[in-house]
Every structure is written in C-alpha cells, then in structure tokens.
Structure 1
Amino acid sequence: MIAEEILARARDSTDLPAGWVVFPLLRQKVILGIVGWALGMLLGLGLCGMVAPIVIPFNYEHGLFSAIFATILLGSFLFIGLGSAWTMISDIYRLKTASQQIIVITPEDFVQQAGKKITHVPLINIRYVTARGMPPPAHSEEDKQTPSITKHAASQTQGRGLAPAVIRLSRRRLRAPTSLAFLDTRTAKEVVLVNDMAHGDPAAIGTVLKQYAASVQ
C-alpha cells in the first residue's frame, strides 16, 4: 500500500484496519507550546531591549572584557527571543496544518506526514529505534508484575485503541525523552520522527514502533 493510501485511511477513523496505530497531532499540547514560546520571545527580546541601553556604549568603551561580557549577554537574550519566535511560528504552522501532521504505524509500514513532507519506511527496514532523553528508572515490583508490552499488543491491536494503553504504561516506566529516531537500512541514514511531545510521549511511540518492527524482522 502506498503512503498516500495509508494516510487517507488513517485520517478516516471509521475505516481503520485492525493493527494500525495512529498518532495524530495533539492540538492542546501544541497550543500550550505556542504560549510558552510566546512568553520566551517576550522575555528574551524584552530583556535585550532593557539591557542594551545600559551596556551600549558604556561596556564597549571600557576594555575588551566588558565588551565581550556585553556581547555574550545581549547575544544570549537575542538567541532566546529569536529562537522562541522561530519555534512559535513553526508550531503555529503545524497547528494550521494539523490534518497533515500524523504518524501511522501499520503491521508492515511506518508512514509520517509533516506538512508536505511524507516519510514512508517499510518496517523490515527499520533498525535501532532510539528515544533520546532521560534513562528509564529502575523497575519496581509492581512494574515487574505488569504484563509486557508485547503481550498487551497481541491482545489489543485495534488501531488507535493500542496507543492510549501503551502511553499509560510508558508513563509509569519512563521519564519522557525529548526525541525519537531510527535507522533506515535502505539509505543507512537516521530518520528523526519527533523532537517534542506534539504527537504524544516519544517513548510510547518508540515502544510501539520497536514491537511492530521486531514482528516482521
């Protein structure tokens, strides 16, 4: 099945084949992110605007050290302000194109659409699924008694229904990582799936992807 067909069926929640898992864009998380980046932009640019009249030209007329200090300080504020503004604009774009921001895992394929970019990788070509971030804490006795993800998935493979259950288990076992990536063996290149929580917990997505990939390899 080609990527466009997979994406079309994934968007139609009434016609989702068994075994498909869909991670749509979580609008609420993106909106909260936009608010946070807006505050970061205001803070960074505001501090830069407040400090600039104090250090310019005074610090640049009183030696190299003072000039370097002022430059680093202003550069840091500008970086925070402009970086937050850029990320905020990117999130606004993602929110406007929410229907084109989706991750789909089928028993045979991985498909992701991010705007106009579509990534389609057969599961047989996926290796080294890695969630980067905080390492998992030691398992408690309660965790050891919890059924494995593999057993759970075998008993529940009804598309979107799998995702919430895996996410709940993942939240108990893992500290949220910041990104998720894998190696595409066709090109020997790394494919970065997500770098935030806009589609849910990267660890949960990685758990599902690892399991599905292992089942065909």
Structure 2
Amino acid sequence: MESSEIITRARTEGERPPGWVVLPLSRNSVLVGILGWFTGVVLGLGLFGIMAYSVIPHNYQYGIIAALITTLFLGFLLFVGLGSLWAMIVDTRRILQADKYLIVITPDEFLKQEGEKIIHVPLMYVRHVTARGAPPPDRSTSSPENRPNPNARENVLSLFGGRAFTPSGMGWRMKRMRTPTSLAFVDSRSEHEVIVVDDKSHGDPFMIAALLKQYAASAQSIA
C-alpha cells in the first residue's frame, strides 16, 4: 500500500481497517513541553543577562582563571537559553502543523509522517525494536514504592514532607528522571536506525514499542 493511501485512510476513522494502530500528535503533551522550554528560556537568558551585567568587565580584570570560569558560566547559561528557545520554536511548529505528524502501524507496515518527511517500512524489515529510558513505574503492591505497609521511618518522613521525600518516593523520582525516553528500530534493508519517537508526544514509547514488536513478529512469522 502506498504511503499516501495509508495516511488518507488513517485520518478517516470510518475507513480504517481492523487492526490498524493510529497515533496522532498529542497536543497536550507538546504544550507541556513548550511550557518547560519557555521556563528554560526565561531562566537561561534571564540569568545570563543578570550575570553578564554583574561580572562584565570586572571578572575579566582579575586574571585568566577568573575570566575562564566566568566565560564557562555565561556560555552554559546562554546555551540553556538559546537551546530552550530553539526547542520551543520546533514544538510550536509541531503544534501549528499537528495534522502533519502521525504514526501508523498496520498488520504489514510501519509509517511515520513528520512534517513533509515520511518514513515507510514494511514490518518484515523491522528489527531490534528498542525503547530507551525509564519504563513506567510498577504500580503493583509488591513493589517497594507501593507496598501497603511502609516502615515507621517513611511514615514519619511522609507526615512532615510528603511521600515524595521518603526514600521510596525519591527513588521513584530518580528512576523517572534517569534518561529521556525514546524508541527506535533497525531497518534491515539498509541497517539504518529509524527513530520512532523521542518524547511522549504520540503516547507512551514503551506501549508503542510493545505494539510494534507484536505486529512485526506477527508479520515476520507469516512471511
């Protein structure tokens, strides 16, 4: 099936064949990301401006070490501010062109539309589906973070500081902050890595990975 036909049928709910997985862009997720980037712009460029006003030219008059340290701090703040600004612009464009961002998994094919770029890979060539990052938290009562009877120390800490400040709560937060979550696979025709997602704008990457593995295994077993 041609890419244009897959996209057209995926966007028309009444024409979607059974078994198709259609993942449009989640505007709410992207908006949350934009708010985060905006905070980075304000903090990065704001602190850069305040610090530059305070230390230039004074710190550059006290030798090379003071000048080097000052330059490193200013460079870091400028990098954070400009990097966040660029990411905010990119996400804003995604919001404005949300209808051009789509992931479709059919029983036979994988397709991703990202603006004008379209990636179309038959599932029989999908290999090594890999989700990177911290998986969703284990909500079962057998996990330490969710056991029904926390110890006395955690009860006292949670009473004064909330559950987030207990050892189990802080451990859960560290797991969630470990690495950015992304999903990719290898196209065996060219051995090139294909990035499926690098954020949660199309849903949980681990859920998408499970679906992609299931569909790819089914297509390859039939082939």
Deviation >4 Å, runs of 4+: 135-143, 174-177
- The residue that corresponds to 2:206 in the other structure is 203
Aligned with 2:181: secondary structure?
strand
Q: 1:124 to 1:26 in 2, by over 3 A?
A: same
Greater shift, 70-79 or 106-115, is seen at: 70-79
Unmatched 5+ residue regions in structure 2? 144-174
Q: 1:16 to 1:185 in 2, by over 3 A?
A: same
Q: Decide which structure has the larger Cα Rg and report it.
A: 2
- The residue that corresponds to 1:184 in the other structure is 187
Q: Counterpart of 2:206 in structure 1: which amino acid? A: A
Contact kept? 2:41, 2:81, Cα under 8 Å: yes
Aligned counterparts, 1:95-114, within 5 A: 95-114=95-114
What TM-score does the superposition give when structure 1 sets the normalisation length?
0.81
- The residue that corresponds to 1:212 in the other structure is 215
Greater shift, 85-94 or 55-64, is seen at: 55-64
User: Which structure would you say has the larger RCO, counting Cα contacts within 8 Å and 6 or more residues apart?
Assistant: 1
Aligned counterparts, 1:108-147, within 5 A: 108-134=108-134
Q: Distance in 1 between matches of 2:114 and 2:79?
A: 26
What TM-score does the superposition give when structure 2 sets the normalisation length?
0.79
- The residue that corresponds to 2:45 in the other structure is 45
Residues 41-92 of structure 1 show CA distances to partners (whole Å, capped at 9, x for unaligned) of 1111000000002221112111121111111111111111101100000001
Q: Counterpart of 2:119 in structure 1: which amino acid? A: T
Q: 1:142 to 1:109 in 2, by over 3 A?
A: farther
Q: Distance in 2 between matches of 1:130 and 1:75?
A: 35
Greater shift, 131-140 or 196-205, is seen at: 131-140
Unmatched 5+ residue regions in structure 1? 144-173
Q: 1:203 to 1:177 in 2, by over 3 A?
A: farther
Alpha-carbon distance, 1:177 to partner = 5.7
Q: Distance in 2 between matches of 1:46 and 1:198?
A: 28
Residues 87-119 of structure 1 show CA distances to partners (whole Å, capped at 9, x for unaligned) of 000001111111110000000000000000000
For the aligned residues, what is the CA RMSD?
A: 2.1
- The residue that corresponds to 2:8 in the other structure is 8
- The residue that corresponds to 2:88 in the other structure is 88
Q: Distance in 2 between matches of 1:9 and 1:30?
A: 25
Contact kept? 2:135, 2:206, Cα under 8 Å: no
Q: 1:70 to 1:141 in 2, by over 3 A?
A: closer
Q: State the number of aligned residues.
A: 187
Q: Distance in 1 between matches of 2:189 and 2:110?
A: 14
Aligned with 1:182: secondary structure?
strand
Q: 1:138 to 1:26 in 2, by over 3 A?
A: closer
Contact kept? 2:37, 2:88, Cα under 8 Å: yes
Contact kept? 1:180, 1:192, Cα under 8 Å: yes
State the identity %: 53
Q: 1:126 to 1:141 in 2, by over 3 A?
A: farther
Contact kept? 1:109, 1:121, Cα under 8 Å: yes
Q: In the alignment, does 2:62 pair up with 1:62?
A: yes
Greater shift, 115-124 or 129-138, is seen at: 129-138
